[in-house]
Each structure stands twice: as structure tokens, then as C-alpha cells.
């Protein structure tokens, strides 16, 4: 038995699990939520159902990971960092350089850092977390697992933008997508739940967290996905605008007397989405029950954009067997699932209100008669990451 830690740094969270491998039993797990927001939540579950929980302001991922490593020792979950043989790190953007998971050396880490423009809210923070590991756990093998890997099967017709092709040839400008590890995991689980080989299924997977992406899956392969060159594209998200008319950039920059394009991109990445529309919060928990009309408008726009992508993927796939909900909002927010599916009855999707009460458990939430099944599948990016560490370090 060896111990592997899987670290999943998201835009608003840091999730992690320590597994005994190859048994895949969980030794401890935890999440730091609302990173960068007031009242971040730091939780560790370990031992025989023990829980360590603190609410405090955690400014960034660097602080979160240092706090986590400190508590692993303080709570006696491990006696020394040397016990951890492998560490798997989620990295959002691998570009065309990294098609698969890889052991991290200095050249790999520098390349991950150089891909910052491909995932500005993620790669820099993820690289920092890896550097903390290199410093504090020098004997541990670090492995990078890329969100983009699963989407490398997308056909050219879907990953190319309608701009001069020379820019793809010269600069690798294309759609890369994200959340691939999650889409892959929930698709595999869905096939099990439906009792069919994944090769025979057409699936639309909806990863709805602080970042949101919708993926069309055929034959177990990603055919198209809503995120683009970076995770800014697609649907409305916690702080990201999703798709907009690019002409807006020049127009708004002039109005705002902005000269730096990075400032504009930052506005779309960090001040838009639920936060921008509601002017209240990027966190769905602060909005869902909030009677403020702006909060409710934000919630409606959020649902509408997801529904539109699902609709378009019915066209991409020429029909679908199942829609799958996962991630923070997809797993926990039944009202949001109801809002999204209620507009898709023409396609043959019908939710069972009672089954839809479920939260964070694997279950079918559509009615018996629903032509398209609707599934709730809690994602487990960390397990997929730990499996890749095991594969590469054996
Ligand atoms: N019980 C809940 N009801 C509604 N939304 C929830 C609930 N629990 C978590 N969320 C939402 O999930 C989002 C975070 O999702 P998550 O997948 O953890 O994020 P990340 O993108 O950082 O990985 C937040 O917007 C949070 O409000
Ligand atoms: C790519 C992305 O948006 O990831 P997350 O939802 O974890 O922030
Ligand atoms: Mg995430």
C-alpha cells in the first residue's frame, strides 16, 4: 500500500483526497471552498468520521495548500510528508503540448506556467501549488493531470474557430475545453448506471460549478464542449461571462477608457457572470434563495445559457440518451436542475420532482417515461487523478 494525494485546484476551491493505492480506499479528504471570498470554508474529513472544520478568510490557493499540509501533520493524518509517494495535480490547460498525464520535472512545470494565457484563473495557481509541493515534499513524485486531455478527441470541425486557419497553424489557436477529467469520470459512471457499454451511448455531461462546461460525448469520446481556447467561453459562470460578441471588447474598452486588453479580459474572467449580473455574489448559495431581482435574473440567465448549450448538443449528437449533472451546483442545487430541464420537455426530458430532491448521490432523476434519462453523478476528479499517478509511478 502506498499513499497518493490528489489535488484539484479549481477557480474557487481546492479539493483533495489521500488514497491508499492501488486499493483506492480514502484515507482523508477535504475541500477549501470560497477561496478569495469572505468566510472561506476549510474542511477535512478523516479517521473514523472525524471532521475538522474552520471558517476564515483564505485569500488564495497558496495559503490554502500550506494550511492543508500543516493540518495533515497536526491532525496526525500522516506522521511525515515522506509517507506520500505520489501527488497528482489537476492542471487545467495542457495546450497541444500535453495530450496525457505526465510526471512533472522543471521543464514540464515551466511549460505549465507558460500556458497561463490558456487558463488564467487556473494554471498560475496550480503551478504555485506544485511549487509548494516541490519545496515541502521533496521526495514525492508530482504528476500533472490535464483537464484538456479528454477533449483531444474533438474533431477539427468542432475545435477550429472560423478565423484564418494560419492562426491555428502558427499559434495553436483553437478550442481546448476544460473539466475533461470530470466529464470522463461522470460519463463512465453514467454508462454503468444505465447498464450499457459507453460506446453505445450519446451523452451530454453538464459540469456546473464555479466554472461551467457542457460536453457532447459519443462512443465515450468528447465530440464538442462549451469552453474554448480558455475556460472563459461557453455558458455564464460564477465570475466569467461565457460567450459574448468579441466586438464588445473594443467598444467597452473605449467607453471605459481602458488601454490594457488584459484588464478587459480580467473583467470578463473575474467580475462578470453571476457576480456581474447580480452585483451580489459569485456563489450560487448566496443567490438561489435571494429575493433581490438582480439575484434572480442572474440565476435565470445562468440556467438559460446551460439549456441553450444542451439544446445545441442534441443537434451535434443528433439526439442523446442521457443528460448528466455534476459539480458543486449540478450535484447540490435541485432548483437549478429543475430550471434547466423544465425547458427541454420537447426533447423528451422530464424530471421526477421526488427523485430530483437527491443531493450529491448517484441516481437517476428523470421519470420512468422520460425519453432522455437525466442523471445525477457526483464527480470524482481526485480518484481519476490518483489512478493516473498510480499508472505513471508504478
Ligand atoms: N448546496 C448548494 N446549493 C447551491 N449551490 C451550491 C451548493 N453547494 C455548492 N454550491 C455551489 O457550487 C459552486 C462551486 O462548485 P465547485 O464545483 O465546487 O467549484 P469549482 O469550480 O471551484 O471546482 C459554488 O457556486 C457554490 O455556490
Ligand atoms: C476549468 C474550470 O473552470 O474549473 P473550475 O470549475 O474547477 O474552476
Ligand atoms: Mg472544479
For the stretch 123-170, pLDDT in tens is 999 999 999 999 999 999 999 999 999 999 999 999 999 999 999 999
**Among the bound ligands, the one closest to the CA of 35:** 1
Q: How confident is the model at residue 394 (pLDDT cuts 50, 70, 90)?
A: confident
Provide the pLDDT for residue 283.
96
CATH superfamily of 196-376: ATPase, nucleotide binding domain (3.30.420.40)
Confidence label for 11 from pLDDT (cuts 50, 70 and 90): confident
Distance 255 CA to ligand 3 centre (A): 34
Give the distance (Å) from ligand 2 centre to CA of residue 70.
25
* Tens-place pLDDT, residues 51-99: 999 999 999 999 999 999 999 999 999 999 999 999 999 999 999 999 9
Of 62, 100, 147, 169, the catalytic one is 147
Q: Are 142 and 103 in contact (CB under 8 A)?
A: yes
Identify the pLDDT of residue 1.
Answer: 81
328 is in an annotated binding site: yes
**At a CB cut-off of 8 Å and minimum separation 6, what does 217 contact?**
183, 187, 201, 202, 203, 204, 205, 223
pTM above 0.90, yes or no: yes
CA atoms within 13 A on the CB side of 43: 13
284 is in an annotated binding site: yes
Q: How far does residue 244's CA lie from ligand 2's centre (Å)?
A: 19
What are the distances in angstroms from CA 1 to CA 22, 240, 339? 7, 42, 45
Exposed/middle/buried for 6, CB within 10 Å: 0-12, 13-18, 19+?
A: buried
Q: Quick check: do 2-146 and 196-376 share a fold?
A: yes
pLDDT digits (tens, 9 = 90+) for 101-111: 999 999 999 99
Q: Cα-flanking dihedrals φ and ψ of residue 6, to 5°?
A: -115, 125
As a whole number of angstroms, the distance between CA 347 and CA 197 comes to: 23
Please answer whether residues 151 and 101 qualify as being in contact, where contact means their C-beta atoms are separated by less than 8 angstroms. no
Q: Is residue 147 flagged as an active site residue?
A: yes
> Per-residue pLDDT averaged across 216-225, rounded?
98
Nearest protein Cα to ligand 1, atom 21: 210
Q: How many CB atoms lie within 10 A of CB 168?
A: 16
Give percent above pLDDT 90 in the chain.
99
Query: Was 207 annotated as part of a binding site?
Result: yes
Shortest-distance ligand to the CA of residue 331: 1
d(C-alpha 210, C-alpha 363), whole Å: 22
* Residue 211 in contact with ligand 1 by CB distance below 6 A: yes
Ligand 1 pocket, mutate which of 15, 208, 284, 330 (most atoms under 8 A from CB): 284
Distance between CA atoms of residues 354 and 212, nearest Å: 25
Say what the pLDDT of residue 59 is.
95
Taking the CA of residue 284 as reference, the ligand 1 atom at the shortest distance is 27
Residue with the smallest CA separation from ligand 2 atom 3 is 211
Q: Confirm or deny that 30 is annotated as ligand binding.
A: no
Domain chopping of the chain, boundaries: 2-146, 196-376
Mutate to test the pocket of ligand 1, among 36, 210, 382 (most ligand atoms within 8 A of CB): 210
CA distance 97 to 26: 32
Ramachandran angles phi, psi of 350, nearest 5°: -140, 125
Chain centroid offset of residue 87 CA: 19
Rounded distance between C-alpha atoms, residue 200 and residue 202, angstroms: 7
Determine the residue of 299, 329, 340, 361 to mutate for testing ligand 1's pocket, defined as the one with the most ligand atoms within 8 A of the Cβ atom.
329
Q: What is the pLDDT of residue 266?
A: 95
State which fold the 2-146 domain adopts: Nucleotidyltransferase; domain 5 (3.30.420)
* 60: nearest Cα among 119, 8, 123, 13: 13
Q: How many residues does the chain have?
A: 394
Give 110's contacts (C-beta < 8 A, 6+ positions apart).
Answer: none
Eight-state DSSP code of residue 220: T
* Cis before 145 (ω within 30): no
Amino acid at each position: 500500500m502506498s499513499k497518493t494525494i490528489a489535488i484539484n485546484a479549481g477557480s474557487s476551491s481546492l479539493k483533495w483526497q489521500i488514497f491508499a493505492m492501488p486499493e483506492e480506499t480514502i484515507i482523508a479528504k477535504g475541500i477549501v471552498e470560497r477561496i478569495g471570498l469572505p468566510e472561506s470554508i476549510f474542511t477535512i474529513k478523516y479517521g473514523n468520521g472525524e471532521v475538522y472544520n474552520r471558517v476564515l478568510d483564505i485569500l488564495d490557493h497558496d495559503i490554502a495548500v500550506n494550511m492543508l499540509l500543516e493540518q495533515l501533520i497536526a491532525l496526525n493524518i500522516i506522521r511525515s510528508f515522506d509517507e506520500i509517494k505520489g501527488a497528482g495535480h489537476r492542471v487545467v490547460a495542457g495546450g497541444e503540448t500535453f495530450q496525457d498525464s505526465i510526471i512533472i520535472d522543471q521543464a514540464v512545470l515551466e511549460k505549465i506556467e507558460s500556458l497561463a494565457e490558456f487558463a488564467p484563473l487556473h494554471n498560475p495557481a496550480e503551478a504555485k501549488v506544485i511549487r509548494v509541493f516541490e519545496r515541502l515534499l521533496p521526495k514525492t513524485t508530482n504528476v500533472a493531470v490535464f483537464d484538456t486531455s479528454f477533449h483531444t478527441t474533438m474533431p477539427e470541425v468542432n475545435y477550429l474557430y472560423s478565423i484564418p486557419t494560419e492562426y491555428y497553424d502558427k499559434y495553436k489557436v483553437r478550442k481546448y475545453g476544460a473539466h475533461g477529467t470530470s466529464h470522463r469520470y461522470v460519463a463512465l459512471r453514467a454508462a454503468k448506471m444505465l447498464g450499457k457499454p459507453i460506446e453505445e451511448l450519446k451523452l451530454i455531461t453538464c459540469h456546473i460549478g464555479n466554472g461551467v462546461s457542457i460536453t457532447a460525448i459519443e462512443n465515450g469520446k468528447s465530440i464538442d464542449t462549451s469552453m474554448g481556447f480558455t475556460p472563459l467561453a461557453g455558458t455564464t459562470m460564477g465570475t466569467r461571462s461565457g460567450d459574448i460578441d468579441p466586438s464588445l471588447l473594443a467598444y467597452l474598452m473605449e467607453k471605459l477608457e481602458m488601454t490594457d486588453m488584459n484588464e478587459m479580459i480580467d473583467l470578463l474572467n473575474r467580475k462578470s457572470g453571476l457576480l456581474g449580473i447580480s452585483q451580489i455574489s459569485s456563489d450560487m448559495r448566496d443567490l438561489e434563495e435571494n429575493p433581490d431581482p438582480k439575484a434572480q435574473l442572474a440565476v435565470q440567465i445562468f440556467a438559460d445559457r446551460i439549456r441553450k448549450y444542451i439544446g445545441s448538443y442534441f443537434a451535434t449528437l443528433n439526439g442523446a440518451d442521457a443528460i448528466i449533472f455534476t459539480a458543486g451546483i449540478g450535484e447540490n442545487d435541485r432548483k437549478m436542475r429543475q430550471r434547466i430541464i423544465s425547458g427541454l420537455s420537447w426533447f423528451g426530458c422530464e424530471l421526477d420532482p421526488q427523485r430530483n430532491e437527491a443531493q450529491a448521490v448517484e441516481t437517476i432523476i428523470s421519470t420512468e417515461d422520460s425519453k432522455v434519462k437525466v442523471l445525477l453523478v457526483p464527480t470524482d476528479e481526485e480518484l481519476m487523478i490518483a489512478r493516473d499517478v498510480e499508472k505513471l509511478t508504478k
